[in-house]
Structure 1
Amino acid sequence: MNAHQPPVAGQLARYASDPSRSRGRRIEEPAAPTRSAFQRDRDRVIHSTAFRRLVYKTQVFLNHEGDLFRTRLTHSLEVAQLGRSIARSLQLNEDLVEGISLAHDLGHTPFGHAGQDALNACLKSLPEDTDERRNGFEHNLQSLRVVDELEERYPGFDGLNLSFETREGILKHCSLANALLLEQKEPGGVGARFVHGGSPSLEAQLCNLADEIAYNAHDIDDGVRSGLLALEQLEDVPLFDEHRRAALKAYPGLKGRRLLFESIRLMLSEQVYDVIDTTRQRLEAAGAADAEEVRTLPTMVGFSDAMKSASNTLKSFLHKNLYRHPQVMDNTNRARQVVTDLFTLYLQLPAEMTDGALPEQSLARAVADHIAGMTDRFAIREHERLMGTSVFPPGIEPAHKPAQSVVVR
């Protein structure tokens, strides 16, 4: 059998997460008659309001800049596709990988990392010494808040009441301060590994890496499509250029978008095979007996040293030439201003929030939740409605004309 030929779907390795052995949900529910716990989690994520909002949330390029650029939604779908492909070859639980992948960005603010950084700075600048000031804003933690508390769909509980394993994968990163708060509320729960050490499930580890593989590839595509990157620049990136040359060898005279797409396709394939081979070797060497023993081991899912180095070179190139491009930075600065103005105004006039402050939490956290749930275009409309001006250039029209401005100085 070919080394990369996938096994039959549903066949799980001994160290894969088994839904029948799940640590369960925070609020006990009867099992679904036709779906496993992880399939049920995935379905709840897909039907959530927060998931639908991802279609209008920035990945790199703002929503108005073009119809074909990636959004948080299309990014999440690409992560899920890559994750499931790798999971099947490694005989991990595909349904858990898919659920985590689709949910991992539910807490992202409008305007991508610019919005997240601005909202974190707003909370950190609060005058009082509060949990909000100390702990700031983390989008991974916000994704957990969405599925644990903020979604309002079910009569018996807040949030989506997902299984432990899905929630653990969603919380990819967490500061020690916030992990301690989680551990206080839920001893031995999803925050425990950040406090006491340890690793998450192999499926969670895989989603983390699939996220990186996906955004590196699609940011090349979007960067070239936008005109901010040129194919000639990418010849300086070994990981991309070796596959560009391979594509030209197989198809002499290939050029333009077909050359770009084929180069990215070959690059993705090599990365996927590298992860599969490297992870198999690590798991065989470690001899993990089951999914629980995996949690006591170092990270098992990963690149080889050579591929990790090549991937880091690509990330550095994208950071310098795309994410820090003057045009991207200009929109980043405008986006920060929108988030900062909205936060300041809602603190002073909370009634302006369309859904009001949530009960049993501070106003500052309610404002952060409200802003984090916005799409790009809604945030732009709200800013123009409330401030009476737009920080974005003409051409980005709100869906309605502002009826009245509430300007706070």
Structure 2
Amino acid sequence: MSAKMNWDHLLNKKRQRKTQSKTMPYRNEFDKDYDRIIYSSSLRRLQDKAQVFPLQENDFTRTRLTHSMEVASLGRSMAWNIGSWLLEEKRFKNFWEVKELASLVEVSCLVHDLGNPPFGHYGEDIIRNWFNNWFNSHDFKKVENKYVEKGFCPLGNQQKNDFIYFEGNAQAIRILSKLQFLNDQYGANFTYGTLATLMKYPWASDHPQVINKKKFGYFYAEKELFEKLHKEVGIGDRRHPATHILEAADDIAYLTADIEDGVKKGIVKWEKEYQDIAAYLQLNYPDKYDYLEKYRKQVIQYKVPNNDLVNVQNFKVIAQGIMIEAVVEVFKDNYNEIMEGTFRGSLLDASTAKELAKKLERISIKYCYNDEEVLALELVGDRVISDLLHLFVDAVVNIEEDPKTKLKKEKLFHLISKNFRHIQSLDNSGLPNIEFENVSLYNRLLLVTDFISGMTDSYAVNLHQKLLGVKLP
């Protein structure tokens, strides 16, 4: 049996670089993490990254930013509930630990999608497929042999898998610990507690779990950081208990919000789909059903415009409440297994609201994820990201010495963010002493994925058009 995780370690406030600011109970270290990222360019870029519907021109449909804000709200609410229970059960020593848990979950939820590439989760698939094909190509073998001849080691299994199974979750860890550059090589310098919570899959890309789940938590480049988290937070290859709350908040948010967006866009036939859900609610949650029916009649009586949208918004509130209550109960009932790291699956799937969640997921798949507009724009994203990867990988891996701006590959290199290029020049002491000609093949590929995964949907499309001559700069 695994040793139980300990909240004294789980609410870990240490950082890679010690902070000089004082900690007050009303503004804990996790609140400071929130303040560090809320003003960042990495978070702002989420406002132009797709949740479900890419490249929207209206101001209603959710983006990754609005989705993340909603997840943070739901996660904070559940954490307060669970934290209060932990205090009652004397698992927490005082009220301030309850607040710390709420703050930890809130900031982790806010940044959980920070590493997602353009065009949502499909963007991850595009990157994975491109690298899987490239690593099996003759071009890669020639490139790798060239680096071996220069004295570099061939790419290891974990290094290759970092790209073959490219994971936005691992990229978020990388952004927070390195790429959101402020003063030094530690990026936003988040607490170990927040980084551990954000790591939904706490194992490397060559771990046996990856074969089944196709998911991992950190890149080879952040191996040393993971070892610190392992030691300081005590998670090992187990999920931080707060990660379960984050995942549940994410699930509850998208299951309800994607349908609302679909109704607003006119593609979800809500009245038709509601009849099936209404029968389920009437049988299992009669008081919730009566509440919804009351307001559905009121919408007709008051001749409220966009009645489908109003009805689905009222339903969203009820559905979220049902799922939140169910998730919190599962956390409490399975607390020992969660603290031992032996709890399997998600809180929502283990809850009494599982059937409701499946019904909502079915609606989203039927109308939203298979919508012609979504599929067409995802195909655009496939072409855009694949072409950009081809151009930038080919350029970056073939630069021999300090790049000027004369050759095509050098011009492409200089289009990459200066911050990302600067990160690759830092030595172990944080000084920019590494010339680009001495940057390994693995780190050059990371430079490309850092750049492309950080793009917004619109920026990726515009850059693609410019580089292909479709659009002038």
**TM-score, normalized by length of structure 2?**
0.70
Map 1:218-367 to 2 at 5 A: 218-235=257-274, 238=277, 242=281, 246-254=291-299, 255-283=307-335, 286=336, 294-298=339-343, 302-303=347-348, 304-350=350-396, 351-352=411-412, 353-355=415-417, 358=421, 359=424, 360=439, 362-367=443-448
- Cα distance change of structure 1 residues 282 and 40 upon mapping to structure 2, 3 Å threshold: same
Who is 2:134 aligned against?
126
- Check the 8 A contact 1:147/1:159 in 2, yes or no: yes
AA in 2 matched with 1:25: R
Shift of 1:189: 3.9
AA in 1 matched with 2:472: P
Alignment RMSD: 3.1
Shift of 1:140: 0.3
Larger mean Cα displacement after TM superposition, 339-348 or 31-40? 31-40
Alpha-carbon separation, structure 2, partners of 1:310 and 1:402:
50
Alpha-carbon separation, structure 2, partners of 1:328 and 1:157:
38
Shift of 1:23: 5.8
Who is 1:7 aligned against?
none
Alpha-carbon separation, structure 1, partners of 2:240 and 2:189:
19
**Per-residue CA distance 1:19-73 (angstroms, 9 max, x = gap):** 9962621223335344322111111121222011111111111133422110111
AA in 1 matched with 2:46: L
**Per-residue CA distance 1:83-136 (angstroms, 9 max, x = gap):** 111111122411101110111111011111122211122222223373553322
**Per-residue CA distance 1:351-403 (angstroms, 9 max, x = gap):** 322426632453222111101111111111101100123xxxxxxxxxxx514
Shift of 1:281: 3.1
- Check the 8 A contact 2:50/2:457 in 1, yes or no: yes
Secondary structure of 2:18's aligned partner: coil
- Cα distance change of structure 1 residues 372 and 87 upon mapping to structure 2, 3 Å threshold: same
Who is 1:397 aligned against?
none
Secondary structure of 1:334's aligned partner: helix
Who is 1:44 aligned against?
36
Query: Which of 250, 255, 265 is 1:216 aligned to?
Result: 255
Who is 2:149 aligned against?
none
Alpha-carbon separation, structure 2, partners of 1:198 and 1:20:
12
Who is 2:405 aligned against?
none
AA in 2 matched with 1:275: V
Who is 2:12 aligned against?
22
Alpha-carbon separation, structure 1, partners of 2:129 and 2:393:
15
- Check the 8 A contact 1:200/1:295 in 2, yes or no: no
Query: Which of 100, 122, 134 is 1:114 aligned to?
Result: 122
Shift of 1:298: 2.2
Query: Which of 175, 184, 188 is 1:160 aligned to?
Result: 188
Who is 1:56 aligned against?
48
Shift of 1:246: 4.4
Who is 2:472 aligned against?
402
Who is 2:89 aligned against?
none
Map 1:43-122 to 2 at 5 A: 43-91=35-83, 92=98, 93-122=101-130
Shift of 1:332: 0.9
Who is 2:243 aligned against?
204
Alpha-carbon separation, structure 1, partners of 2:462 and 2:112:
26
- Check the 8 A contact 2:466/2:472 in 1, yes or no: yes
Query: Which of 155, 167, 171 is 1:138 aligned to?
Result: 167
Alpha-carbon separation, structure 2, partners of 1:385 and 1:153:
30
- Cα distance change of structure 1 residues 20 and 248 upon mapping to structure 2, 3 Å threshold: closer
Who is 1:150 aligned against?
179
AA in 2 matched with 1:108: N
- Cα distance change of structure 1 residues 366 and 236 upon mapping to structure 2, 3 Å threshold: farther
**Per-residue CA distance 1:203-252 (angstroms, 9 max, x = gap):** 22211110010011110101111122111342365389736774124542
- Cα distance change of structure 1 residues 319 and 16 upon mapping to structure 2, 3 Å threshold: farther
**Per-residue CA distance 1:146-197 (angstroms, 9 max, x = gap):** 011111112x433111111100122213554265847852464447999954
Number of corresponding residues: 369
Which segments of 5 or more consecutive residues in structure 2 lack a partner in the other structure?
84-97, 142-154, 207-215, 282-287, 300-306, 397-410, 425-438
- Cα distance change of structure 1 residues 170 and 237 upon mapping to structure 2, 3 Å threshold: farther
Which segments of 5 or more consecutive residues in structure 1 lack a partner in the other structure?
1-14, 390-400, 404-409
- Check the 8 A contact 2:43/2:65 in 1, yes or no: yes
Secondary structure of 2:15's aligned partner: coil
Alpha-carbon separation, structure 2, partners of 1:240 and 1:206:
29
- Cα distance change of structure 1 residues 237 and 172 upon mapping to structure 2, 3 Å threshold: farther
Shift of 1:312: 2.6
